[in-house]
Chains A and B, each alone.
Chain A
Amino acid sequence: MLTTAIFYVLSFVCILAALMTVTLSNPVSCALSLILCLACLAGLYAQLAAGYVAVLQILIYAGAIMVLFLFVVMLLNLSDEEAAEGRYDVIRGLKGLICFAFLVDLYVLVEVSLGGRIYGCPAPGLGSLEAIGELLFTRYMVSFEVISLLLTAAVVGVVLITRKGPASALAAGRGGSS
């Protein structure tokens, strides 16, 4: 009873926050709504006994990535999105229509293919730290390592993008400390 109530509250707030993310005009409000949406999602994960995923969701997305989002938004000092396009603009309506069609499409997909069937109940302890750790170092070891490669590549790329001026000037000025 209690858990069902919590589930519905979390889902409702999650959907509402997601809608706010795409409809609000102020970019900071959008980002904050997204954080709320992610936090509710974390709650839903926790309900599914995936506490580790829930906590990481908050730690990584809400706590780090969205903070950087907000940082960039504030740095760029974006003003409210211009309300130049009219409220009942054709393009806007079309966008909404496409989104709605997509939603219906998804619902039909899930309903028709699953039809209420569940592919088994998760084994006890599936979302636990031990289970995830074991999977990370056995079945998904390659993926784990490839992600570390991906991140290294991203770091190298970021360093290249952010350094200013032509490469030669930097090398002349600072020696090889790049």
Chain B
Amino acid sequence: MQEINGVSYLTKQIWTDATWLRFLSLNELGFFLMLIAGVLVLTFVLAYGTFVVWAERKVAGHVQDRLGPMRVGWHGWLQTLADGIKLMMKEDIYPTLADKPLFVLAPPIVFLSAFVGYAVVPFSQNAQMADLDIGVLYIMATASLGVIGLIMAGWASNSKWPLYGAMRSAALTVAYGIPLGLSIIPVLMVAGSLSMQDLVQSQNGGILHWNFFRCWPFMPLAFIIFFISNLAETNRVPFDIAEAESELVGGYHTEYSGVSFSVFFLAEYAAMYLACAVTTTLFLGGYLPPDLSGIPLILSLALLGIFLFWRFKTFHDRSQVSEAIFCAILVAAITLLWGVWPYFFWFLAKTGVLLYLMLHLRWTLPRLRIDQMMYMCWKVLTPVAFINILGTGLWWMWITGIPKNWWPY
């Protein structure tokens, strides 16, 4: 017991231990490196957001038998940029009766809550800002703050549609946080860690070691629950009652315009990508390449053959034949490049597939009612998630053997 002043003692013994910085797993000089990394990630989010908004409009167009944006750039790929510039030029309008400080603060908070989660996303083995020992929980915690921004926006707008939107999103987020948290427990049980890197490494060893392909049917079930809950947490269709253009005129962002509105927009896509990144890390092997050596070569070739046969049967004209040949070449190229591609691209590819799923769902599913959502959350997803934990535990015990002395008598 040292007789020195409390604060200085803490400063010397604990703080110079760089705990705060250890929390971000960087040394003291690395603080500035961290800033640079932050800017890099921000750039990534912005660039990728621009791309996904375009992709979403293209998907929407093709689903509805349209072409989508075609004018600005090749197939309209610069359309988002043009829209962004337009939004920035527009006036920021504040409603007269709005609670101005909250109104202004809300969009940055929503964006920040999604953005800070990127600190622990393992884009690759080394491309990760901080490998926290509680990485998954960290992302869940920061992501759960987003709804507070939505509530602030809804309240500060001082208008009924935003308020309804805010209340709906509050109810939704709190409810779906439970299956979300429960569905990752099977993965954590198998990996024995919450660190994102450990989670990825625990799936090392080929596609059959990915969590999605392990422990059928429990892990895929966890994957589905996690994916659905993420849709709800990010307010995507079919859970977009917080925005609900057709009833709430846009929900919480009804009163927003100009840059504030675009920040909301960006935040939604940032949260979406974050959700996909976490899903990939937890279930799809993260940045690891899908080493197929675990699967017999014949099986994969047979699958490819069946796929091609099925495609050719439904072909009607030559252009589709050439498309199929192109696909086959692409598949072959991917197969050849199997282990050669850098991790980062595998990460992008996997998250891209999940993102496409999200976009496609948005344009194919109708919006659910709040009672249907609550029914699904409390009476379907939550119990199934609990059973899932039990099932995974039993499976894991079957694999590793029952621990000795588990019963005291």
Contacts and interface: CB of A to CB of B under 8 A. Distances in A.
A84 interface: no
Nearest to A66: B148
B2 interface: yes
B403 interface: no
B173 interface: yes
A166 interface: no
B170 A118 contact: no
A4 B173 CA distance: 35
Nearest to B152: A32
A63 B141 contact: yes
B3 to A, nearest CB: 6
Given A47-B15, A47-B19, A74 B167 contact: yes
B174 A68 contact: yes
A49 B19 contact: yes
Given A3-B18, A67-B151, A71-B170, A118 B141 contact: no
A118 B15 contact: no
Interface string B159-202: 00001001100110110010000000000000000100000000
B402 interface: no
Interface in A51-73: 51-52, 54-56, 58-59, 62-64, 66-68, 70-71
A32 B6 contact: no
Query: How big is the A interface, by class?
Result: 35 or more
A68 to B, nearest CB: 6
Contacts of A117: 1-3, 6
Contacts of B56: none
A162 B147 CA distance: 25
| Interface of A: prevailing SS | helix
Contacts of A68: 170, 174
B15 A67 contact: no
Contact of B174 (A29, A46, A64): A64
Interface stretch (B61-69, B76-84, B130-138, B331-339): B130-138
Contact of A56 (B13, B14, B141): B141
A27 B365 CA distance: 38
A33 B151 CA distance: 13
B340 interface: no
Given A2-B28, A74-B163, A63 B177 contact: yes
A119 to B, nearest CB: 7
Contacts of A176: none
Contact of B170 (A70, A119, A121): A70
A49 B23 contact: yes
Interface string B137-159: 11011101101100110110000
B1 A67 contact: no
Contacts of B166: 74
B126 interface: no
Interface in A62-93: 62-64, 66-68, 70-71, 74-75
A7 to B, nearest CB: 7
A6 interface: yes
A28 interface: yes
| Interface of B: prevailing SS | helix
Contact of A116 (B6, B19, B148, B151): B6
Interface string A1-14: 01110110000000
B216 interface: no
A68 B175 CA distance: 10
A114 interface: yes
Given A3-B21, A6-B20, A63-B141, A128 B1 contact: no
Contacts of B170: 67-68, 70-71, 74
B364 interface: no
Contacts of A120: 1
B356 to A, nearest CB: 29
A24 B14 CA distance: 36
Nearest to A3: B15
Given A6-B20, A51-B134, A63 B11 contact: no
A71 B171 contact: yes
A63 B144 contact: yes
A63 B142 CA distance: 8
Given A55-B137, A116-B5, A119-B1, A74 B155 contact: yes
- Nearest first, the 4 A-B pairs at minimum CB distance are A63-B144, A59-B141, A49-B19, A58-B141
10 contacts: A6-B20, A29-B102, A49-B14, A58-B144, A68-B174, A70-B170, A114-B6, A117-B1, A117-B2, A118-B9
Interface of B: 1-6, 9-11, 13-23, 28, 31, 99, 102, 132-134, 137-138, 140-142, 144-145, 147-148, 151-152, 154-155, 163, 166-167, 170-171, 173-174, 177, 194
